[in-house]
Amino acid sequence: MRRIGAHLQGKKLSRKIDFQLLACVGCLLVFGLIMVYDAAVVQAFKDYGDKYYYIKNQLVWMVLGLITLFTFTFFNYKYLRIFALPAFLVSIVLLLAVFIPGLGYSAGGAHRWLSLGPVNIQPAEIIKLTSIILFASLFDKKVRSFPFFSVVFLVSFIIGVLQRDLGSTIVFFLTSVAIYYYAGAPARYILSLLPIGIVGFLVFVLSAEYRKNRVLAFLDPFADPQGYTYHITQVLIAVGTGGFAGVGIGQSRQKFEYIPEVTTDSIFAIVGEELGFIGSAFLISLFVFLIYKGFKIAQHCDEPFGRLLAFGLTCWLGIQTIVNLGAMVALFPLTGVPLPFISYGGSALLANLMAVGILLNISKSSKE
Please say if the pLDDT value at position 12 is more than 50.
no
- Higher per-residue pLDDT: 266 or 7: 266
> What is the average pLDDT across 268-292?
96
Domain map (residue ranges) of the chain: 29-364
| Residue 354 CB coordination number (10 Å) | 18
- Sign of the torsion formed by the C-alpha atoms of 293, 295, 300 and 305: positive
Contacts of 32 (CB under 8 A, 6+ apart): 58, 341, 342, 343
pLDDT at 7 over 50: no
Average pLDDT over residues 336-362: 93
Mean pLDDT of the chain: 87
Given a cut of 70, is residue 202 above it in pLDDT?
yes
**pLDDT above 50 for 9:** no
Percent of the chain with pLDDT over 70: 93
- What secondary structure letter does DSSP report for 367? B
Residues 6+ apart with CB under 8 A from 129: 313, 316, 351, 354, 355
More confident residue, 130 or 117: 130
- DSSP secondary-structure letter at 329? T
Look at residue 275 in the predicted model and tell me its pLDDT. Answer: 95
Q: Choose the most confident range, by mean pLDDT, from 41-55, 305-319, 336-350.
A: 305-319
- Cβ proximity of 21 and 359 under 8 Å: yes
The pLDDT tens digits of the residues spanning 152-172 come to: 999 999 998 888 888 899 999
Does residue 269 register a pLDDT over 90? yes
| pLDDT one-digit tens code per residue, 322-335 | 999 999 998 988 88
Within 13 Å, how many C-alpha atoms sit on residue 272's CB side? 19
User: What does the pLDDT look like over 218-245, one tens digit per residue?
Assistant: 888 888 888 888 999 999 999 999 999 9
**Cα-based torsion angle of the residue sequence 74, 75, 77, 83 in order, rounded to the nearest 10 degrees:** -160
